[in-house]
């Protein structure tokens, strides 16, 4: 059975019916990206993903990366895929063409990214991290740094990474020990060790550019004293040519549960005292700069987890339609009744509809964040730009934390529907589940995403971000109230939204009180219910469009639109009641997690 990786019909719906990206072409900034052009881009992305990248998925998992003599080789099939990816100029889709980008809307690039990551996101980590590193150079780099590095990174000739984590400074970045000593000529000598570095060493490109967090001698302790440096694997001469080795040495790669095709490296910087970097941005402002890349990376991680889930869902649907097992429930007593495809069994249908609802809602959520980014570009109003950016900031921890958690759940369903076959390597479900698992951990664990949502985002601008989001959701609720057949769904979403508002106020006050520890013990459930309400909004929004479309839909499109309405109905009647129960639990802010004595835990 051929493996599929994304639902083109639903992607088209989100792009053209929900967000109407073809209308962006009315603005000169995106004038060339009309609907026809957008459709061609997505078709080309799908062709590359299915024909060239997807075949590397299993091979990449089985071969993995090899480490010998300080050098890392990637799976052989990755080389052809990477060359084709570069030739198509896919690495910097939304960026300035002057530096090798295509200048397309980010919403469109998100759709292409779904195909690429669904095909093999372990492979896509190499260009994905490169794009993020390139954005740091573009935003904070000097003219010289941009001239030397930016185009070569955005075209994929050189790749990039992100060097934060250290043995004694994982999530607590402020505890890092890597040092930077000024050399008096504008350069710095860098010394330290970084671990868990994705794409840190490989043979796909002739140079790897590392943004490195380090502390200049005498700088303040904690995150306030961290600076960001640009440290290439090989030094770069003033004419752009590659110079001598820069004392960045891979000490080993990790053996992992999944994403075997991506090299996760330990890098030693300056063991011979000869690692030279240049300051990227201002002294002691490294964390502020790195957050630019981290926000992009967190959205990318949300897409990685989601892409594995949607591939697992499509596989599960196709398998359930073909796998004959057991008689129909209404004919269980008829021994002569033939076996039926398992999609006819109620519990399988429940699992598939759960997957469908979450997949559709998560797709719209991820694309919506990109859509808001496009609106910040297109808007002439500073107030509107600020509002859209606020929505992005608020939704990033949900798009990373909530989405990857639910994505793993969907991969679990995808394995379950295959039964025993889902657990063996002959089918893709077990690899998708293994690959998905890391998305809940890296770029800030999902517990950290929840703490970010509660501790930073909830109170930003005196709660304006939350109020703006609630206003957007109510716009959809009010529209749905006036559509026959959606009134009950709208009422349930409104009830959950009002309850969430109560919970948000409670959490904000508790986090500022003597019960701050209890509040943060409930940060994760709070993120979960925020995600549930946001997804119910996305699904209701889709249902309102589907209801209108059904009045003039072609016969072949009727099941699609009816399915969107059923997804929203299922979520409103099955998931939201559970979310309301969680909200009631949050309002108790029970102190047991904080009050229990450490000695009460085994160990």
CATH of the domain at 97: 1.10.540.10
- Report the DSSP pairing between strands 66-68 and 71-73: antiparallel
> Among candidates 138, 129, 136, 187, which has minimal Cα distance to 158?
129
pLDDT of res. 293: 73
Q: What is the 3-state secondary structure (H, E, C) of 50-90?
A: HHHHCCHHHHHHHHCCEEECCEEECCCHHHHHHHHHHHCCC
Span 95-114, average pLDDT:
96
The CA distance from 370 to 503, in Å, is 27
Which runs of consecutive H residues, i.e. helices, occur in 170-264?
none
Q: How buried is residue 35: exposed, middle or buried, by Cβ count under 10 Å (0-12/13-18/19+)?
A: middle
Question: How would residue 172 be classed by pLDDT, with cut points 50, 70 and 90?
Answer: confident
Residue 476 belongs to some domain of the structure: yes
Query: Which of 256, 285, 314 is the last residue in one of the domains?
Result: 285
Whether 184 maps to a domain, the answer reads yes
Tokens of 376: 């910040």
Residues 217, 270, single domain; the answer is yes
Q: Mind listing the pLDDT tens digit for each residue in 544-568? A: 999 999 999 999 999 999 999 999 9
315-328 tens-digit pLDDT:
999 999 999 999 99
Q: Does 372 have pLDDT greater than 70?
A: yes
| CA angle in degrees (0–180, nearest 5) for 66-79-268 | 40
149 and 272 in a common domain:
no
Instruction: Note whether 114 and 165 are same-domain residues.
Output: no
3-class secondary structure, 338: coil
Regarding pTM above 0.75, the answer is: yes
At residue 304, the 3 state secondary structure works out as: helix
Q: How far is CA 525 from CA 89, 456, 519, in A?
A: 41, 16, 10
Is residue 349 domain-resident? no
Q: Name residue, tokens 């002691």.
A: 284
Whether 23 and 122 map to the same domain: the answer is: yes
Residue 490 C-beta-side C-alpha neighbours within 13 Å: 18
Whether 2 maps to a domain, the answer reads no
Sequence-separated (6 or more) residues with CB below 8 Å from residue 296: 131, 132, 135
Segment 223-264, tens digit of pLDDT: 899 999 999 999 999 999 999 999 999 999 999 999 999 999
Q: Give the C-alpha separation, 518 to 523, whole Å.
A: 9
Assess whether 178 and 130 both reside in one domain.
no
230: helix, strand or coil? strand
Statement to judge: residues 171 and 123 lie in one domain: no
Which residue matches tokens 């599960």?
A: 316
Q: Is the dihedral angle over the CA atoms 141, 144, 149, 154 positive or is it negative? A: positive
Give per-residue pLDDT as tens, 90-104: 999 999 999 999 999
Instruction: Assess if residue 109 is contained within a domain.
Output: yes
Number of domains making up the chain: 3
Domain limits for position 240: 159-285
Give the chain's mean pLDDT: 96
Q: What is the pLDDT of residues 477-491, one digit of tens each?
A: 999 999 999 999 999
- Please tell me whether residues 118 and 138 are part of one structural domain: yes
Give the pLDDT band (50/70/90) at residue 118.
very high
Closest CA to 510 of 531, 491, 525: 525
Q: How far is CA 14 from CA 10, 11, 539, 545, in A?
A: 6, 5, 11, 10
Domain-located, residue 179: yes
Evaluate if residue 123 carries a pLDDT over 60.
yes
Please compute the mean of the pLDDT values over residues 464-475 and round it to a whole number. Answer: 98
Residue 34 inside a domain? The answer is yes
- Out of 114, 373, 443, 494, the active site residue is 443
531 φ/ψ sector (left φ>0, alpha ψ -120 to 50, else beta): alpha
**Which pLDDT score, from 0 to 100, does residue 406 have?**
98
Residue 246 sits in the same domain as residue 133: no
CA-based max dimension of the chain: 88
pLDDT at 25 (0 to 100): 97
Q: What is the rounded distance in angstroms from the CA atom of residue 269 to the CA atom of residue 275?
A: 6
Query: Which of 192, 569, 105 has its CA nearest to residue 367?
Result: 105
At residue 2, the pLDDT reads: 47
CA–CA gap between residue 527 and residue 401 (Å, rounded): 8
Q: What percent of the chain has pLDDT over 70?
A: 100
Residue 300 located in a structural domain: no
Instruction: Give yes or no: residues 141 and 232 share one domain.
Output: no
**Average pLDDT value for residue range 25-42:** 97
Q: Do 111 and 177 sit in the same domain of this protein?
A: no
**Above pLDDT 90, what percent of the chain?**
95
185 and 264 together in one domain = yes
Contact 201, 72 (CB under 8 A): yes
270-283: average pLDDT? 97
Assess whether pLDDT exceeds 70 at residue 10.
Answer: yes
Residue 19 scores a pLDDT above 50? yes
* Per-residue model confidence (pLDDT) at position 1: 42
Based on its alpha-carbon atoms, the radius of gyration of the chain, rounded to whole angstroms, reads 25
Q: Categorize the per-residue pLDDT at 3 as very low, low, confident or very high, splitting at 50, 70 and 90.
A: low
* Distance (Å, whole) CA 538 – CA 480: 12
Tell me what pLDDT residue 17 has: 98
Distance CA 155, CA 158 (A): 8
Averaged pLDDT for residues 11-25: 98
Tell me how far apart the alpha carbons of residues 560 and 62 are, in angstroms, rounded to a whole number: 37
The secondary structure of residue 170, as a DSSP letter, is: S
Let me know if 206 is a catalytic residue. no
User: Under a CB-based contact definition with an 8 Å cutoff, are residues 269 and 190 in contact?
Assistant: yes
pLDDT at 579: 98
Task: Check the CA dihedral 451-453-457-462 and report its sign.
Answer: negative
Q: Which three-class secondary structure state does DSSP give residue 167?
A: coil
CB 262 within 8 A of CB 125: yes
3-state secondary structure of 234: strand
> What 3-state DSSP class applies to 242?
strand
Q: H-helix or E-strand containing 320?
A: helix 286-322
**What is the per-residue pLDDT for 173?**
80
Residues 71-98 have a mean pLDDT of 97
Q: Which of 242, 270, 285 is the last residue of a domain?
A: 285
Q: How far apart, in whole angstroms, are the C-alpha atoms of residue 205 and residue 83?
A: 10
- Which one has a higher pLDDT value, 222 or 581? 581
* Among 88, 100, 103, CA closest to 25: 103
The rounded distance, in Å, linking the Cα atoms of 311 and 7 is: 9
Going by C-alpha positions, the residue among 582, 585, 586 that lies closest to residue 506 is 586
C-alpha 22/C-alpha 15 separation (Å) is 8
204: CATH: 2.40.110.20
Domain-ending residue, one of 285, 300, 315:
285
- Domain match, 21 and 120 both: yes
Residue 512 pLDDT exceeds 80: yes
């Amino acid at each position: 059975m051929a493996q599929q990786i994304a639902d083109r019909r639903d992607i088209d719906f989100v792009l053209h019916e929900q967000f109407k990206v073809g209308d962006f072409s009315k603005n000169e900034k995106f004038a060339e990206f009309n609907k026809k052009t957008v459709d061609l881009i997505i078709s080309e992305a799908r062709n590359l993903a299915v024909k060239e990248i997807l075949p590397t998925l299993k091979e990449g998992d089985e071969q993995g990366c090899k480490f010998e003599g300080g050098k890392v080789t990637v799976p052989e099939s990755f080389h052809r895929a990477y060359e084709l990816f570069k030739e198509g100029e896919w690495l910097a889709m939304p960026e300035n063409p002057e530096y090798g980008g295509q200048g397309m809307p980010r919403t469109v690039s998100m759709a292409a990214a779904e195909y690429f990551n669904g095909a093999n996101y372990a492979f896509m980590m190499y260009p994905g991290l490169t794009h993020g590193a390139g954005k740091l150079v573009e935003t904070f780099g000097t003219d010289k740094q941009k001239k030397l590095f930016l185009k070569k990174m955005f075209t994929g000739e050189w790749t990039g990474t992100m060097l934060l984590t250290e043995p004694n400074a994982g999530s607590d970045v402020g505890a890092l020990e890597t040092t930077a000593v000024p050399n008096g000529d504008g350069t710095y000598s860098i010394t330290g060790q970084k671990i868990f570095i994705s794409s840190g060493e490989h043979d796909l490109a002739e140079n790897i550019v590392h943004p490195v967090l380090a502390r200049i001698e005498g700088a303040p302790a904690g995150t306030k004293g961290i600076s960001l440096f640009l440290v290439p694997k090989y030094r770069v001469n003033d004419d752009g040519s590659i110079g001598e080795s820069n004392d960045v040495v891979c000490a080993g790669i990790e053996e992992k549960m999944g994403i075997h095709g991506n090299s996760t490296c330990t890098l030693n910087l300056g063991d011979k005292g000869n690692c030279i970097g240049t300051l990227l941005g201002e002294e002691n402002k490294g964390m502020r700069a790195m957050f630019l890349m981290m926000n992009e990376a967190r959205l990318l991680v949300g897409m990685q987890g989601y892409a594995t889930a949607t591939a697992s869902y499509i596989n599960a649907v196709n398998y359930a339609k073909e796998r004959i097992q057991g008689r129909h429930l209404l004919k269980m007593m008829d021994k002569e009744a033939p076996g039926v495809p398992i999609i006819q069994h109620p519990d399988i249908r429940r699992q598939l509809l759960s997957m469908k609802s979450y997949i559709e809602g998560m797709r719209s959520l991820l694309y919506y964040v990109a859509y808001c980014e496009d609106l910040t570009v297109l808007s002439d109003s500073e107030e509107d730009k600020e509002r859209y950016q606020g929505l992005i900031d608020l939704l990033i921890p949900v798009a990373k934390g909530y989405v990857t958690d639910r994505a793993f759940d969907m991969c679990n369903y995808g394995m379950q529907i295959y039964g025993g076959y889902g657990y063996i390597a002959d089918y893709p479900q077990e690899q998708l589940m293994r690959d998905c698992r890391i998305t809940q951990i890296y770029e800030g664990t999902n517990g950290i995403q929840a703490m970010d949502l509660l501790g930073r985002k909830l109170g930003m601008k005196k709660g304006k971000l939350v109020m703006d989001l609630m206003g957007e959701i109510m716009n959809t609720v009010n529209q749905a109230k006036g559509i026959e057949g959606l009134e009950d769904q709208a009422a349930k979403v409104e009830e959950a939204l009002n309850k969430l508002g109560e919970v948000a106020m409670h959490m904000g006050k508790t986090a500022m009180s003597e019960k701050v520890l209890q509040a943060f013990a409930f940060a994760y459930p709070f993120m979960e219910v925020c995600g549930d309400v946001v997804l119910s909004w996305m699904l209701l929004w889709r249902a309102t469009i589907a209801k209108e479309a059904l009045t003039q839909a072609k016969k072949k499109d009727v099941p699609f639109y009816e399915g969107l309405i059923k997804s929203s109905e299922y979520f409103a009647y099955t998931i939201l009641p559970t979310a309301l129960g969680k909200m009631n639990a949050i309002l108790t802010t029970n102190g047991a997690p904080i009050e229990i004595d450490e000695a009460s835990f085994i160990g």
